[in-house]
Amino acid sequence: MPFKAIVDCNSFYCSCERVFRPELAERPVVVLSNNDGCIISRSDEAKKLGIDMAGPYFKAKPLIEKNGVAAFSSNYNLYGDLSWRVMETLRTLVDPSNVEVYSVDEAFLDLHDIAERDLAPAAMNIRKTVEQWTGISVSVGVAPTKVLAKVANHIAKKNKKATQCVTVLDTDDKIRTALQNTRVGELWGIGRAYAEKLVGWGIADAWQLCNMPQNWAFKHLGGVVGVRLLKELRGEAAIFLDDELVNKKMIATTRMFGQPVTAVADIREAVATYISRSAEKLRRQYSAANIVSVFIVPKEQDHKVAFHHGPVVSSYTILPNATSSTNELIKPAMKLVDALFEEGKTYKKAGVMLSGLVPDSSIQGNLFNEHTNENRHLMSMIDNINFSMRNDVLKFASSGTTRDWKMRQELRSPRYTTRWEELCEVS
């Protein structure tokens, strides 16, 4: 029987902060969201203190300061680089084609070429090698299907000392016991709303759900998706490893502002900067965009109202020809900003999206204008200079120079692995 594994980094963002700060090994750590707003990652020690996930930082701050919790702003340069190192390590331990990167801190592995008796030692070797080579602690769950591997991984994380962060479900008895001890709300693919419905129907654990008829799952759990979940719980593979998506079908860049914005000039600068970022990504995969979309998000005026995402004001334009040139993408985006902006309102976020992507080597022209994406060479030169020198050494004037609207990161750690000037110093 072929087996699947999922390798999941433990409190990934916190683990990244600890790699270059060994004195934080036993100390509670939290990492904050954009603009230091909410808590998005907690070490086990921070969880034991009762610090809530996704809770506002200002509310948890007294508890954090009282208990000496180390707090960090999000350092996505560091996290992205360490994530790449973890995934590359996995590709050396199994055939690279058997690795599916599921998220920044998770990857599925196909272990079909490993004998059943060797699964536990192999999983332990994966865990130890990743930790030794990257400094990132991981948990490994192994089972016949993806959903069961997720269950195994949940068990491995739940009691790290007893499991040594590795759980292998390789027998029917182990699978049954694991499912009986897993609440339906903890299953991969079961959201809060579905979990509440299932509990209301008397289905409290995964084993009870596993024994429901397939036609019932089709009717009550989203059709084919529900049937697949049921098959996976029964050990029948129905969700297979996906090939890595090399080229994205759309590219987006969004950010919260560092402070509320009221001037259209600031929003224009932000959107021009986001267009520049997206255009770089577009050229990196040798694509061109046919559609430019822009959105801006007004700030809620009534602070007594419970937090919600708020209204989004958006619009898009279809370009006469697909392009990957930053200047040709900025111009229509600026017109969209001017049309969306309302004087007197305060804005907290903006974003852009490039879609209708086509290969930049085969851009369709028209009868009167043969479009050749002639700025491609110039754009590549700008990209190379910015990549080597960092910090947008070359940028379009519409992106601004002061950028007072930039995201707030007052507690960010050094970008140890991606900036020469921020390398870790050893004395």
In a domain, 219, yes or no: no
Helix (H, G, I), strand (E, B) or coil at 11: coil
The answer to whether the beta carbons of residues 236 and 215 sit under 8 Å apart is no
Q: Number of H helices and number of E strands within the chain?
A: 15, 13
Give the pair of three-digit tokens for residue 214. Answer: 């397939």
pLDDT for the residue 294: 97
Lowest mean pLDDT among 62-71, 279-288, 366-375, 382-391: 366-375
- pLDDT class for 304, splitting at 50, 70, 90? very low
Task: Give the amino acid at 75.
Answer: N
CA distance 183 to 262: 47
The model's pLDDT over 150-198, given as tens digits with 9 standing for 90+, comes to: 999 999 999 999 999 999 999 999 999 999 999 999 999 898 888 999 9
CB atoms within 10 A of CB 60: 22
Show Cβ contacts of residue 43 under 8 Å, excluding neighbours closer than 6 positions: 11, 14, 18, 27, 28, 29, 30
The two structure tokens encoding residue 140: 């490994």
CA distance 273 to 322: 20
Q: What is the CATH number of the domain that holds 389?
A: 3.30.1490.100
Shared domain check, 264 and 387: yes
Q: Count CA atoms within 13 Å of residue 334 on its CB side.
A: 17
Domain count, the chain: 2
Q: What percent of the chain has pLDDT over 70?
A: 93
- As given in the structure block, the two tokens for residue 78 are 């560091």
Does 214 reside within a domain? no
Q: Do 132 and 261 lie in a common domain?
A: no
Task: State the CB neighbour count (10 A cutoff) for residue 235.
Answer: 16
Asked if residue 256 and residue 135 are part of one domain, the reply reads no
SS3 of the chain: helix, strand, coil, percent, to 5: 45, 20, 35
- Structural domain contains residue 365: yes
* Distance, first Cα to last Cα, the chain: 53
Q: Are residues 2 and 135 in the same domain?
A: yes
Q: Is residue 366 part of a domain?
A: yes
Question: Is 369 a member of any domain?
Answer: yes
- In-domain check, residue 377: yes
Give the residue-averaged pLDDT of 256-262.
Answer: 88
What's the pLDDT score for residue 393? 80
Quickly state the pLDDT bin for 62 (edges 50, 70, 90): very high
Instruction: Output the average pLDDT for the chain.
Output: 90
Q: Does residue 301 form part of some domain?
A: yes
Is 80 exceeded by the pLDDT of residue 301? Answer: no
Domain that holds residue 278: 251-399
Tokens standing for 158? 């739940």
Is 351 a domain residue? yes
Question: The CATH number of the domain where 28 resides is what?
Answer: 3.40.1170.60
| DSSP sequence for 223-255 | THHHHHHHHHHTT---SPPPPP--S-S-EEEEE
Q: Which residue in the block uniquely carries the two structure tokens 């921070």?
A: 46
From the list 382, 332, 387, the residue with the least C-alpha distance to 356 is 332
What is the reported pLDDT for 360? 83
Higher pLDDT, 85 or 257: 85
